[in-house]
Structure 1
Amino acid sequence: MQITFLGTGTSQGVPMIGCYCPVCRSLDYRDKRLRVSVHVQVQGKSIIIDSGPDFRQQVLRERIDHLDALIFTHEHKDHTAGLDDIRAYNFRQQQDMPVYAEPRVLDQLRREYAYIFAEHKYPGVPKVQTMPILSDTDVFEVEGVRVQPIRALHYKLPVLGFRIENFTYITDANFLSPESLELVRGSDVVVLNALRHEQHISHFSLSEAVDILTDLAPQQAYITHIGHQLGKHREVEATLPDFIRLAYDGLRVEV
């Protein structure tokens, strides 16, 4: 399995518009963060989790010319705003794109992208096949790949993380129940969000994420959904335990 971090930034990205802090002015490419998304290549399949506003730029950068399915963690715009750009895959692959999400999230997509789901469609609009995730605990299949959903809370909003084989990906969370943590335990690679050093209403802080990852003790762990308030990549990473690293855009990991 190969994991590619398409984006590792918070909802406003890094640099943030109008900000001239040291992180936003940094020349280190690792401090340039598009909105959060990840590409999973497994069992010959190409799967992307979340398509935010930077989706087109991300897949062009990584030369992802085939996509078998798109999975959504939740309905926030920084995770769904790129849905329109799946049109290129529709044209290239001559098929509808399977889109996996909880029913609530699919309902939100139908409202925000009414033209995709209209009875009488305008020519050339994206074509999707909606695939409801009906349970937040039961394994489901994406193009033959087994996926374990993992319930988390993003403030009061229920969101999903996903475990695929020995890889677990959780973003936009600030609470994981003991039951959810047990579903993660045993993963070789765990990705978890950490927005900044200070506590936040809807995201883990860095210390909170480190505590969770230390308890889970995977072989490798990566921090994502990073804001400019966390600090420069080089300086922050130097403070972390050896098995934990900050993810950055374009990073590839073999699992």
Structure 2
Amino acid sequence: MKITFLGTGTSQGVPVIGCDCEVCKSLDFRNKRLRSSVHLQIGDLSVVIDTGPDFRAQMLQNSIKKVDAIVYTHEHKDHTAGLDDIRPFNFMQKKDMPVFGRKQVLEQIKREFSYIFASQKYPGVPQVEPVEIDEQPFHIEGIQFTPLPILHYKLPVLGFRIGDFSYITDANHIPDSTIDLVRGSEIVVLNALQKTSHISHFTLDEAVDMAKTLGAEKTYFTHISHRLGRHQEVEEELPKGIFLAYDGLELSLP
């Protein structure tokens, strides 16, 4: 499995429009963060988790020319807004794109992209195959995805475990039952928004505590705000085995 971080930023991305803070003005490429998304290459299977507003740029920047399926964590726009840009994959692959999500996620997508699902479609609209999932494991071309139920304030959100890789974003609470599902992962991804308290996201300290609880060999933080601080300085503060992810970072698992 090859894991590529397509985006590691929060809903506004980094830099933030109109902001002159030291992070937003930084020339370090690791402080340039598109909206959160990850690409998984598992043998011949190519899967993207979440299609945020930067989806097109992420596909181009990472030279991704094939996507077999899209999996959604939840229905917020910073995770779904790029769905229209799957059209080139429809044309190249000559098939509908399977999109996996909970019932409420698919319903939200159908409202926001109503033209995709119209009875009389405008020529050239994206072709999708909605696939409803719940909290039970499901398979994409024989690869098992285990949903990881979490809370984003009061909104139910799913992370996913695929083999020894677990991906969780937009969380401020992980139930004990989900912690049990994550334990034993070799690589875990968690959100770490900023250092100060937030109503719906882990702070840096909360994410570090959760990483220690989960006990993975390596943990990477994503969904990072400009308020967290500059990449190099923050990473130097982190315990052994815990890192900040950045856009374009590639990881591998056997």
Does the TM-score normalized on the shorter chain lie above 0.5?
A: yes
Q: Is 1:18 aligned with 2:15?
A: no
CA distance in 1, matches of 2:141, 2:20: 44
- Kindly state the Cα deviation for residue 43 of structure 1 after the two structures are TM-superposed: 3.1
Deviation of 1:217 after TM superposition, in Å, equals 1.4
User: What corresponds to 2:57 in structure 1?
Assistant: 57
C-alpha contact 1:68 1:143 (8 A) present in aligned 2: no
After TM superposition, the score normalised by the length of structure 1 is 0.98
- Alignment match, 1:218: 216
Q: Which residue of 2 aligns with 1:46?
A: 46
1:107 corresponds to: 107
Structural mapping, 1:132-211, within 5 Å: 132-133=132-133, 135-136=134-135, 138-211=136-209
Residue number in structure 2 paired with 1:234: 232
Q: Which runs of 5+ in 1 are unaligned?
A: none
Deviation sequence 1:136-161 (CA, Å, 0-9, x none): 1x211122210000000001000000
> Mapping of 1:66-105 within 5 angstroms?
66-105=66-105
Count of aligned pairs: 253
Q: Structure 1 runs of 4+ off > 3 angstroms?
A: none
Residues in 2 aligned to 1:117 and 1:102: alpha-carbon distance in whole angstroms: 17
**Aligned amino acid, residue 187 of structure 1:** S
Aligned counterparts of 1:174 and 1:142: Cα–Cα separation in 2: 28
- Is the counterpart of residue 119 in structure 1 residue 97 in structure 2? no
Give the RMSD, CA atoms, in angstroms: 0.6
SS in 1 for 2:145: strand
- Provide the C-alpha distance between the structure 2 equivalents of 1:233 and 1:178, rounded to a whole number of angstroms: 30
For residues 84 and 246 of structure 1, what CA distance do their matches in structure 2 show?
30
**Aligned sequence identity (%):** 59
Letter in 1 for 2:248: G
The residue matched to 1:238 in structure 2 has which SS? helix
1-structure distance, mates of 2:3, 2:191: 16
**TM-score normalised to structure 2 length:** 0.99
